[in-house]
Chain A
Amino acid sequence: MSEPLLNVSGLQAWYGESHVLHGVDFEVRPGEVVTLLGRNGAGKTTTLKCIMGMIGKRQGSIRYEGEETIALSSDKIARRGVALCPEERGVFASLTVLENLLLPPKIADGGLSLDEIYDLFPNLKERSTSMGGKLSGGEQQMLAIARILRTGARLLMLDEPTEGLAPIIIKQIGHAIQKLKPRGFTLLLVEQNFRWASQLADRFYVMEHGRVIDAFAAAELPDNMDKLHAYLGV
C-alpha cells in the first residue's frame, strides 16, 4: 500500500475555551477520493480548517507528504500543495470572477489551465468580468471549486460542495469532480449528501462529537447502509 499523502492523528482543536475536536484520526492516500460524513456539528469543517492551518488552537499531528504541518501557518501549508474550498464558498465580492480565479498563486505544475477550467464550468467563462458578489449560489460554488484547480495543489479539500444547490448544478459539479481524479488530484470531501458522495468516493469516514468513529470502503457501503443511516440520523 502506498504512503498516505495526508495522515491525521490525535488531532484536537478549540474555539476559544470550547474544545471541539477530541482526537481525530484518518488518512488519505495519493489519488484517493475520501469523504468525511457526519451530522451537523460533528467537527468536519473544523477538521478541514485544521489541516489548512486556519484554526488558532490545534494539537496532535497532521502529516502531509510525510512532513509535519500542525504548526505551520496557512500560507505555508497552501504552498506545500493543500487547498480548501470552504463551506461558505468565500468568493470575494470585490473581485471579478477572473480575479477570483487568478487569486491563488501557482505553487507547482500540474494544475488546470484557464481554458480547461472554463471547459469544466462554461458559466464562469461567460461571467468572467462580473463581480464575485453578483453570482448565483451555483456559480459561486463553481468558482470556489475552480479557483483551487489552477494552482497545482495536489490535495483538494471541498467542504459540502452541494449544500443548498439545485439538482442540475449538483450533477454538473459531480461531473467536474469525476474528471479531476484521473488528473492526479487527491480529494478530501465533506458531504451530507452521501448518495451523491457515494458515486465519487473510494472511502468514507464517519465523524461524531469531534472524533472519527467508523470507516468504510465504497464497496462495503451497501452492507452498512443501516449503520450509516443511524450515524447520520437520516
Chain B
Amino acid sequence: MIPLLGISTQALFGQLLLGLINGAFYAMLSLGLAVIFGMLNIVNFAHGALYMVGAFAAWFLLTYFHIGYWPALILAPLGVALFGMVIERTMLKRLAGLDHIYGLLLTFGLALIIQGVFQNQFGASGQPYPLPEQLKGGTNLGFMYLPTYRAWAVVFSLCVCLFTWFMIEKTRLGSVLRAATENPELTRAFGINVPRLITLTYGFGVGLAALAGVLAAPIYQVRPLMGADFIIVVFAVVVIGGMGSILGAIGAGFMLGIVEGLTKVFYPQAANIVVFVIMVAVLLVKPTGLFGKKL
C-alpha cells in the first residue's frame, strides 16, 4: 500500500469506484429526465419515486414469484414504463401547453403519493436484495479489490447510456424524436403521431429510472425513500449538464459521481454538498449548463 498525500491508494480507489457507481446511477437518471424534459417540457419530479418502484418491482418479483435478477432487469423497467405511460395518458397529457409549474407540481405530488404508499407498506427500513449468483465475488487488482457486481453496474449503465445516445442521435427513430422535440406541431403535420411518441418517450424515460433501480437493488437496500434522497442530487446533475442535453446528462452524471467520490477522500466534510457548490458555480458562469444549448 503506497500512501499518497497521507491517503492509502486502497481508500482512494475504493472511493473512486463508489463515485463511479453513483455516477452511473446519476447518468441513467438524469438521462431519462433530459429525454422527458425535451419532449414533454416537464420536469419529472416522480423520477426518484419510479427509480424506487423499479427496485421494489425486482424485490417483489424475487420475493413473491421467485423470479430472479436477470428477468427482473427486463420485467421491472417494462412494468414501470407501462405504469408511466398510463400516468402520461391519464394525467400529464392534460398539462400540455401549460406552464412548467403544473407538471412539476403534479409529478411532485405523484412522487409523494407513491413514496407514501410504499412507506406505509414497508416502513422506512430497507429490504435486502441478494447479488445474482454469477456476479458474486471480485478481483484483486493489486491496488484495490474490485467487486464484480459493482464493475458490472458501471459497465452496464455506461452501455445503456451510450445505446440511448446512439438511438437518439444516429437513428431514424431518434431523428423523429429530435424533430418532435423541436417543433411538435410541424412534426405532426408530416404525418407522425406525436402524442403517441410523447407517451412512449415518457415510458422510456421512467423505464430507464426503473432499470437504474433494479441495478441499484443489490448495492443499496431497497427502501421507499431510496429515490427521494438520490433525486435531489440528480436534479443538480441535470442543471449542471444542461437541461435537455443528452450527452450533457451522461457526461455530467459520471463526472459528478467521480468528483463526489474524490471529495470523500480529500475533504469528507464537503462530500454531501460538492455537487451543489458546482451547480452554483456553473449557473453563475453558464446558466444553460455545461452542455446546454438554449433555454
B contact residues vs A (CB 8 Å cutoff) = 172, 175-176, 178-179, 181-183, 185-194
B186 proximity list for chain A (CB < 8 A): 86, 90
Task: Assess whether A71 is interfacial by the CB under 8 Å rule.
Answer: no
What are 6 of the A-B contact pairs (CB < 8 Å)?
A75-B193, A78-B190, A93-B182, A102-B175, A103-B175, A151-B190
Q: Mark A69-81, 1 if CB is under 8 A from B, else 0.
A: 0000111011100
Contact B191 A79 (CB under 8 A): yes
With a CB–CB cut-off of 8 A, which chain A residues contact B179?
92, 94-95, 103
Contacts of A92 in B (CB 8 A): 178-179, 182-183
Closest to B97 in A: A56
Query: Among the listed A74, A79, A94, A107, which residue makes an inter-chain contact with B182, where contact means beta carbons less than 8 Å apart?
Result: A94
Q: A90-B183, A94-B181 are in contact. Are A105 and B191 (CB under 8 A)?
A: yes
Give, as a whole number of angstroms, the nearest-CB distance from A50 to chain B.
Answer: 12
A33 adjacent to chain B (CB < 8 Å): no
Determine if B182 and A84 form an interchain contact, defined as CB atoms under 8 angstroms apart: no
Are A74 and B185 in touch, CB under 8 angstroms? yes
Output the least CB separation between A180 and chain B (Å): 18
A151 touches B191 (CB 8 A): yes
Listed residue (A92, A102, A148, A151) with the most chain B CB atoms within 10 angstroms of its CB: A92
- Within the complex, the shortest CB–CB distance from A190 to chain B, in Å, comes to 16
Asked whether, in the complex, the Cβ of A74 is within 8 Å of the Cβ of B189, the reply is yes
Q: How far is the CA of A99 from the CA of B176 in the complex (A)?
A: 9
- Tell yes or no: A54 within 8 A of B by CB: yes
B226 to chain A, nearest CB (A): 35
CB distance from A16 to the nearest CB of B (A): 12
- Residues of chain A at the chain B interface (Cβ within 8 Å): 52-54, 73-75, 77-79, 83-84, 86, 90, 92-95, 99, 102-105, 107, 147-148, 151
Report A-chain residues with C-beta under 8 Å of the C-beta of B172. 102
Closest Cβ–Cβ distance, residue A74 to chain B (whole Å): 4
**Shortest CB distance B210–A (Å):** 28
Question: A75-B194, A90-B183 are contacts. A95–B175 as well, Cβ < 8 Å?
Answer: yes
Residue ID in chain A nearest B175 by CB atoms: A99
Contacts of A93 in B (CB 8 A): 182
**Known contacts being A95-B175, A103-B179, is A75 close to B192, with CB within 8 Å?**
yes
Cβ contacts under 8 Å, B176 to chain A:
103
Q: Which residue of B lies closest to A107 (CB)?
A: B191
List, in ascending order, chain B residues with CB within 8 A of A94's CB.
178-179, 181-182
| Contact partners of A102 in chain B: CB under 8 A | 172, 175
* Bound Cα distance from A107 to B193, whole angstroms: 13
Q: Is the CB of B189 within 8 A of A103?
A: no
Selected from A73, A86, A95, A99, the residue in CB contact (under 8 A) with B188 is A73
The 3 A-B pairs at the shortest CB distance, nearest first, are namely: A78-B191, A104-B190, A99-B175
Across the interface, do B175 and A78 meet the contact criterion of CB distance under 8 Å? no
When chains A and B are docked, how far (Å) is the Cα of A90 from the Cα of B188?
12
Docked complex Cα distance between A85 and B194 (Å): 19
**Cβ–Cβ < 8 Å partners of B175 in chain A:** 95, 99, 102-103
A residues within 8 A CB of B185? Answer: 54, 74
* Beta-carbon nearest neighbor of B294 in chain A: A93
Within the assembled complex, what's the spacing in Å between the Cα atoms of A52 and B194? Answer: 15
B178 touches A95 (CB 8 A): yes
Nearest-Cβ distance from residue B167 to partner chain A, whole angstroms: 14
**Cβ-defined contact, B189 with A54, below 8 A:** yes
Give 7 A-B pairs besides A79-B191, A103-B190 with Cβ atoms closer than 8 angstroms: A53-B189, A78-B191, A86-B186, A92-B183, A99-B175, A103-B179, A104-B192
Q: Measured between alpha carbons, how far is A147 from B181 in the docked complex, in Å?
A: 18
Q: Across the interface, which residues of B come within 8 angstroms of A53, CB to CB?
A: 189
A104 touches B191 (CB 8 A): yes
Q: How far is the CB of B104 from chain A (nearest CB, A)?
A: 25
Please report the C-alpha to C-alpha distance between residue A52 and residue B185 in the assembled complex, in whole angstroms.
Answer: 11
CB contact under 8 A between A84 and B178, given known A75-B194, A92-B183, A102-B172: no
Bound together, the chains give a CA A103 to CA B176 distance in angstroms of 6
Select from chain A the residue with minimum beta-carbon distance to B196. A75
Distance to closest chain B CB from A80 (angstroms): 9
Which of B178, B182, B191, B193 has the largest count of A CB atoms less than 10 A from its CB? B191
Docked complex Cα distance between A111 and B74 (Å) = 41
Residues of chain A lying within 8 A (CB to CB) of residue B183: 90, 92
Complexed CA–CA distance, A14 and B133 (Å): 64
